[in-house]
Structure 1
Amino acid sequence: MHVEDLRWFVVLAETEHLTDAAAVLGTSQPTLSRSLRRVEAAFGARLFEREHRGLRLNPAGRLVLEAARTGTTAVDAARSTIEALQDPESGTVRLAFLHSVATGLVPDLLKSFRATAPRIRFALREEPSHEIVRDLESGEAELAVTGPRPDPEVFGWHLLERQRLCLYVPPDHPLAGRKQVGLAEAAAEPFIGLRPGFGFRRVVDELCRAAGFTPVAAFESTDLSTIDRLVGAGLGVAVLPAGAVRGTDSGATPVPLAGIKARRDIGLTWRLGRTLSPAAQRFRAFVTSPGQPSET
């Protein structure tokens, strides 16, 4: 039995007449009869009572009719959704991205892309880097804006930004006027940072460890804007990418960190060996085109 058999069964059940149903479906009576036999065989029961004027649904047939209507509607909806996903003009891009690029890089990319493809939609996921990798592996996300670069044997990569890392300090802090600062100079400061589990939290912990100290946490958050405002209020210092927080007048002052490791690469990534939807292919082509910002 095929889905089309159920679709034909619905028409036959609504007309309760073999000749009329065949005419509606544009098929022959014998073909429709064979389709009905397949449906009855699949359910192991007669679904109609034969009468001299036509057919009449029996109780089993009414149960199958309800299921057939529900099933064919669901199949049609799924087919329409898949067709929309496969449409490069109006499909959906499943994109994951880091919390720390949510206020700058990602909105800028989406705004630029939507100017060229306004009908394409996005299913967005804002999450830590380890969850992004998991979603790329499972297919929950097709593309991701993340950092650092994941395993090059498994994931493709296009560099988008090489972010300079800064020590954010209160506006009246002694280090606020410096052109750059060694992280070790902030070893005695209370730190405001992301909660454990975030990829950038690991970056900061590794930088502090390399500088010879373990930061004392004054507060841990999931939001960069909150961290920026708390620094501006004088509650501590924080390590953040330059320009990661926009549209704030907190007063927090970024001072570039010294050292070649005081940077973070952010890029577009995807699972190798997996075909992207046409909409996702179009977005990747747009992002990786020579005209888009990229630092190497």
Structure 2
Amino acid sequence: MEWQQLEYFQKLANIQHMTRAAELLSISQPALSRSIARLEDELGVPLFERQGRSIILNRYGAMFLKRVNNIMQEYQDGLHEIQELVDPNRGEVSLGFLHTLGTNVVPDLIRLFRKEFPDIHFQLIQNHTHTQLKQLKSGELDLSLLAAMEVEKPIQWTELWRDELYLIVPIYHPLAMKKSIALKELADESFILLKKGYALRITVDEIFEKVGITPKITFVGDEVGTVAGFVANGLGFSLLPDGEEINPRKIAKIHISDVKCERIIGMAWAEGRYLSPAAKQFQKFILDFFEARKKAVKEHK
């Protein structure tokens, strides 16, 4: 059995189309067919069901594919480990983060980091908290920037910073002149929030619950920018962290006085799982960055 046979089998198993798989492998279709036939002869079982021009992975093929995927992953991991040991300033970091952090926080961190480590690259994944936790456990992600949560081993989470959440209203609304307001005063107002499942939505729901309000929700959105845009056009209020989406020419932000209104953001990783030198460099950079920021804030006070 040759390594090339495993590569060809994996590609065909994923594509399940002989012609397209051959094109992607840059070989002829007969050459691919011969390679698969030799592999089946060595294993002593067929791996595909052939129905006319269609080729479908059978149960033997599905079982073998799991093993081949593991072999290929182990090979890639070994290759990466060796390359990174030779040069720890190179490599790739797989970083997950909440949708609401994609406007400025994550781009700023990566921009500053790459000034020091220009040859380290990133694979970026925006997703919900629960999905990112699964991706950390599976090894698909190295690090994640997530809201405060209850985590179970092997996941580790450490706080990085806190954002105040403000009531945001259209700039022309009578409340826009206020410096602060009690959330209880807004029980009859309409709100625009992110969809359920988003970390910020979970936090906002908990805040409303603390003051005993069930908000009237008129619209829900996928992005903070969408929510802010609806607010700017007078379609409701919202609770959001300060950011580039809060255009001061269109939106006013007001401090909430009767309940602690904030979100807590931290970094998560899977304890015991291999972290490349590049990922460790970025992990340390993040911890140092936010520790320095906390000290600067204390000194300013």
TM-score, structure 2 as length reference: 0.68
Do residues 203 (structure 1) and 203 (structure 2) align? yes
Q: For 1:173 and 1:247, how far apart are their aligned partners in 2? A: 15
Q: For 2:242 and 2:43, how far apart are their aligned partners in 1? A: 68
Cα distance change on mapping 1:2 and 1:82 into 2, 3 Å = farther
The answer as to whether partners of 1:168 and 1:231 remain within 8 angstroms in 2 is yes
Cα distance change on mapping 1:150 and 1:283 into 2, 3 Å = farther
Cα distance change on mapping 1:119 and 1:198 into 2, 3 Å = same
Give the helix-richer structure, 1 or 2.
Answer: 2
The answer as to whether partners of 1:95 and 1:144 remain within 8 angstroms in 2 is yes
Do residues 165 (structure 1) and 160 (structure 2) align? no
The answer as to whether partners of 2:228 and 2:245 remain within 8 angstroms in 1 is no
Q: Which residue of 2 aligns with 1:275?
A: 274
Q: Which residue of 2 aligns with 1:66?
A: none
The answer as to whether partners of 1:229 and 1:250 remain within 8 angstroms in 2 is no
Q: For 2:137 and 2:258, how far apart are their aligned partners in 1? A: 34
Q: For 1:287 and 1:175, how far apart are their aligned partners in 2? A: 38
Q: 1:158 offset after TM fit, Å?
A: 3.5
SS at match of 2:293: coil
Q: 1:135 offset after TM fit, Å?
A: 1.4
Q: Which residue of 2 aligns with 1:185?
A: 185
Q: 1:255 offset after TM fit, Å?
A: 0.8
The answer as to whether partners of 2:228 and 2:246 remain within 8 angstroms in 1 is no
The answer as to whether partners of 1:191 and 1:215 remain within 8 angstroms in 2 is yes
Bigger mean CA deviation after superposition, 279-288 or 173-182: 173-182
Matches within 5 A, 1:1-296: 43=42, 78=76, 83=82, 87-151=87-151, 154-243=154-243, 245-246=244-245, 248=247, 251-259=250-258, 261-289=260-288, 292-294=292-294
Where structure 2 has 5 or more consecutive residues not aligned to the other structure, the ranges are 7-37, 45-71
SS at match of 1:276: coil
Q: For 2:152 and 2:108, how far apart are their aligned partners in 1? A: 26
One-letter code of the match for 1:238? Answer: S
Q: 1:2 offset after TM fit, Å?
A: 7.5
| Structure ID, larger Rg | 1
SS at match of 2:250: coil
Q: For 1:275 and 1:287, how far apart are their aligned partners in 2? A: 18
Cα distance change on mapping 1:85 and 1:131 into 2, 3 Å = farther
Q: 1:180 offset after TM fit, Å?
A: 1.6
Q: How many residues align?
A: 232
Q: 1:251 offset after TM fit, Å?
A: 0.9
Q: For 2:185 and 2:225, how far apart are their aligned partners in 1? A: 24
The answer as to whether partners of 1:149 and 1:267 remain within 8 angstroms in 2 is no
The answer as to whether partners of 1:176 and 1:254 remain within 8 angstroms in 2 is yes
Bigger mean CA deviation after superposition, 260-269 or 138-147: 260-269
Q: For 1:149 and 1:229, how far apart are their aligned partners in 2? A: 29
The answer as to whether partners of 1:149 and 1:265 remain within 8 angstroms in 2 is no
Q: For 1:264 and 1:238, how far apart are their aligned partners in 2? A: 14
Q: For 1:276 and 1:242, how far apart are their aligned partners in 2? A: 33
Q: For 1:152 and 1:180, how far apart are their aligned partners in 2? A: 38
TM-score, structure 1 as length reference: 0.69
One-letter code of the match for 1:88? Answer: P
Deviations 1:124-159 (A, max 9, x none): 111111212221122211101111144275433343
